[in-house]
Amino acid sequence: MKILIVLTYYRPHISGLTIYAEFLAKALVKRGHEVTVLSSRHEKNLPLQEMVEGVRIVRAPVLMKISKGTIMPTFGALAAQLIQAHDIVHVHLPQFDSAIVTGIAKLQKKPVVITYHCDLLMPPGLIPWLANQTVLIMNHLAAIFSNLIITYTQDYADHSEFLRAYRKKLKIILPPVDLPVVSDGEILEYKQRTNPGGKHPVIGMAVRFATEKGVEVILDALPKILTRFPETQVQFSGPYKNIRGEEHYINRLMPRIRAYQKTGNWLFLGPQSHREMALFYPNIDVLILPSLNSTEAFGLVQIESMISGSPSVASALPGVRQPVMRHQMGKVVPIGDSNALAEALLEIFENPEKFRKDPEEIRKQYLPDTIAQAFEQIFEDLV
Query: Is residue 301 helix, strand or coil?
Result: helix
Residue 213 DSSP code? G
Q: Summarize pLDDT for 151-169 with one digit per residue, the tens.
A: 999 999 999 999 999 999 9
User: What pLDDT is recorded for position 124?
Assistant: 66
Cα–Cα separations (whole angstroms), residue 312 to 4, 105, 169, 316, 322: 34, 40, 32, 12, 11
Q: Is the full-model pTM beyond 0.85? A: yes
Q: Summarize pLDDT for 171-182 with one digit per residue, the tens.
A: 999 999 999 999
DSSP 322-354: HHHHHH--EEEE-TT-HHHHHHHHHHHHH-GGG
User: What pLDDT is recorded for position 146?
Assistant: 97
Q: Summarize pLDDT for 217-226 with one digit per residue, the tens.
A: 999 999 999 9
Q: Summarize pLDDT for 194-236 with one digit per residue, the tens.
A: 999 888 999 999 998 989 899 999 999 999 999 999 999 999 9
Where b means 16+ CB within 10 Å and e means fewer, 229-252 reads beebbbbbbbbbeebebbeebbee
Closest residue by Cα to residue 303 from 152, 168, 106:
152
Q: Summarize pLDDT for 44-57 with one digit per residue, the tens.
A: 999 999 999 999 99
In angstroms, rounded to a whole number, what is the distance separating the alpha carbons of residues 215 and 254?
10
Indicate whether 112 pLDDT > 90.
Answer: yes
Position 89 confidence tier, pLDDT thresholds 50, 70, 90: very high
**Bond from prior residue into 124 cis (ω within 30 degrees of 0):** no
Closest residue by Cα to residue 280 from 337, 244, 235:
235
User: What contacts 24+ positions apart, CB below 8 Å, involve 48-52?
Assistant: 52/11
Enumerate domains of the chain plus CATH numbers: 2-176+367-382 (3.40.50.2000), 184-364 (3.40.50.2000)
Q: Summarize pLDDT for 277-330 with one digit per residue, the tens.
A: 999 999 999 999 999 988 888 999 999 999 999 999 999 999 999 999 999 999
N- to C-terminal Cα distance for the chain? Answer: 9
